[in-house]
Amino acid sequence: MALRRLRTVLSPASFLRASLSVANALRSWARVRPRIWQPLVALSVVVGLYAGVVTLGILPSPFGDQAVSRQAIRQEMSSVVQEQLADYLADLPSTQNETLRAAYEEGRRLQLEGYAAQDAEKHLEAIDRFSRALRLAETDEQRAALYVLRGNSYVQLGEFDAAEDDYVAALDVALNFESETERDAARAAALNNLGVVYKDRGELDKAEEHLKRALDIQQRMGNRLGQAAALGNLGLVYADRGELDRAEEHYNTALAIDEEIGYRLGQAHNLGNLGNIYRRRGDLDRAEEYHKKAIAIDEEIGNRLGQAQELGNLGLVYRHRGELDKAEDHHEKALAIDQEIGYRLGQANQLGNLGNVYADRGELDRAEEYYRKALAIDEEIGNRLGQANQLGNLGLLHAQRGNGREALRYLRDARRVFAEVGASADVKKTDDLIETLEERLAER
């Protein structure tokens, strides 16, 4: 976005007015965070999904609004949400080792209950059972499956480092498989899930690399569900980079596959992510239409996480229309669900989005309170992109208050993190803002 350069010498009052103008312009960058796709059980591979969620005053989930795509995984999910997580089960459901099978079955039951209720305690218990099963595992196939399953529960808890360790371990162990089919299934699951972790951390180049490798394997295997998951997750990566046409193409391809195979959860994810794309382009009526289609499916299948993400995404649409009361109501409803189910990434997104609403109203102290709450959660769960967004929002806030030098400090920190995670579009936007503020400070 081109920002108007001011060449005249500005008084403190006019600097504040100019800063407000810049901040309002930047807030229009609002972006959506992918929604999260929860894993479903399939024979070899079970795919969950992360779409996108939006939250932010200065950038969208990457500086402005944070939408759930996705990623989420929001889903971010956008949602992320969120992305799609794959489950590789090997022969665990039929192993003759009764002690191992019991530990696996108990862990799997707890994990699926955790997905259904978004219950963190269930995932903690599942991790304990999978760890016990790992000590009893007799084959590399069993060990790889347990690493993937345990990693999936770590993702649900926001423990991305632990999840990465488990997925890498699964990749390494899979190299020893005698069966090429089993090796491909395990590696596709681990690569896809690593891509989700890297995307949630904001490491977009690594996420793209791993998701493309997963997609290649799924295409070779003819796994349509796995292909849709990888395509949707790649769409989230491109959306975070600001490559909206490329993201739209991947979401539409994934949606077509999900409709072909009747995968309703995947359809909801991709509809929500497409809504985020249209919102970012300014096509608010079309965005609202797609988010409402997504939430209808989420309600039909009882997906509470998806409902929270789409409520947040609708809040972004209403905010961009200037319907701030309606936006606040939707973000508060989304936040309440995220708190109820213990979804920390969603909580950060909606806190940031509420901060944007308050900033739009001129309630700057309240906005700062919400940005800092969101930043604290993003730091706690290692969400680098979210941290950059909130740093940028705090920079805009200081610009609105006329604190130009403090604004620059936050914006430079945001710019550094955006660069580290490969969010090139946000780097450019932040550079433009920094340049404009530097010029204004020099002219005072």
Is residue 47 scored above 90 in pLDDT? no
Whole-Å CA distances, 374 to 154, 282, 353, 390, 407: 21, 25, 9, 7, 18
Give the pLDDT confidence of 255-312 residue by residue, as tens digits. Answer: 999 999 999 999 999 999 999 999 999 999 999 999 999 999 999 998 888 999 999 9
Give the pLDDT confidence of 158-192 residue by residue, as tens digits. Answer: 788 899 999 999 999 999 999 999 999 999 999 99
Distance from C-alpha of 248 to C-alpha of 270, rounded to nearest angstrom: 9
Confidence of residue 71 (pLDDT cuts 50, 70, 90): very low
Among 288-292, 367-371, 425-429, the minimum mean pLDDT is found in: 425-429
pLDDT of res. 159: 83
pLDDT of res. 389: 93
Distance from C-alpha of 247 to C-alpha of 273, rounded to nearest angstrom: 9
pLDDT of res. 144: 96
**CA proximity to 70, closest of 22, 31, 20, 123:** 31
The CA-based dihedral angle spanning residues 254, 256, 257, 258, taken in that order and rounded to the nearest 10 degrees: 80
Quote the percentage of the chain above a pLDDT of 90.
Answer: 65
Is residue 76 scored above 60 in pLDDT? no
Give the pLDDT confidence of 191-246 residue by residue, as tens digits. Answer: 999 999 999 887 899 999 999 999 999 999 999 999 999 999 999 999 989 999 99
Averaged pLDDT for residues 342-346: 84
Query: pTM of the prediction?
Result: 0.73
Quote the percentage of the chain above a pLDDT of 70.
Answer: 80
pLDDT of res. 118: 62
Confidence of residue 74 (pLDDT cuts 50, 70, 90): very low
Per-domain residue ranges of the chain? 12-90+139-443
Q: Which of 117-121, 131-135, 152-156, 424-428 reaches the highest mean pLDDT?
A: 131-135
Distance from C-alpha of 46 to C-alpha of 86, rounded to nearest angstrom: 5
Distance from C-alpha of 372 to C-alpha of 92, rounded to nearest angstrom: 44
Report residue 24: phi and psi, to 5°: -65, -40
What phi-psi label fits residue 79: left (phi over 0), alpha (psi between -120 and 50 degrees) or beta?
left
What secondary structure does DSSP assign to 137-172, as a single string? --SHHHHHHHHHHHHHHHHHTT-HHHHHHHHHHHHH
pLDDT of res. 360: 94
Is residue 77 scored above 80 in pLDDT? no
Helix H or strand E encompassing 54: strand 53-54
Distance from C-alpha of 11 to C-alpha of 280, rounded to nearest angstrom: 34
Distance from C-alpha of 358 to C-alpha of 28, rounded to nearest angstrom: 15
Q: Which of 16-20, 77-81, 156-160, 195-199 reaches the highest mean pLDDT?
A: 195-199
- For 185-239, give the secondary structure using H, E and C: HHHHHHHHHHHHHHHHHCCHHHHHHHHHHHHHHHHHHCCHHHHHHHHHHHHHHHH
pLDDT of res. 67: 57
Distance from C-alpha of 382 to C-alpha of 377, rounded to nearest angstrom: 8
pLDDT of res. 38: 29
Distance from C-alpha of 115 to C-alpha of 395, rounded to nearest angstrom: 37
Distance from C-alpha of 151 to C-alpha of 395, rounded to nearest angstrom: 35
Is residue 388 scored above 60 in pLDDT? yes
Distance from C-alpha of 66 to C-alpha of 51, rounded to nearest angstrom: 12
Return the number of other C-beta atoms located less than 10 Å from residue 121's C-beta. Answer: 12
Is residue 29 scored above 60 in pLDDT? no
The average confidence (pLDDT) of the chain is 82
Instruction: Indicate the residue type of 405.
Output: R
Higher per-residue pLDDT: 339 or 43: 339
pLDDT of res. 345: 84
CATH 1.25.40.10 fits 12-90+139-443, yes or no: yes
Is residue 443 scored above 90 in pLDDT? no
pLDDT of res. 192: 95
Averaged pLDDT for residues 383-399: 92
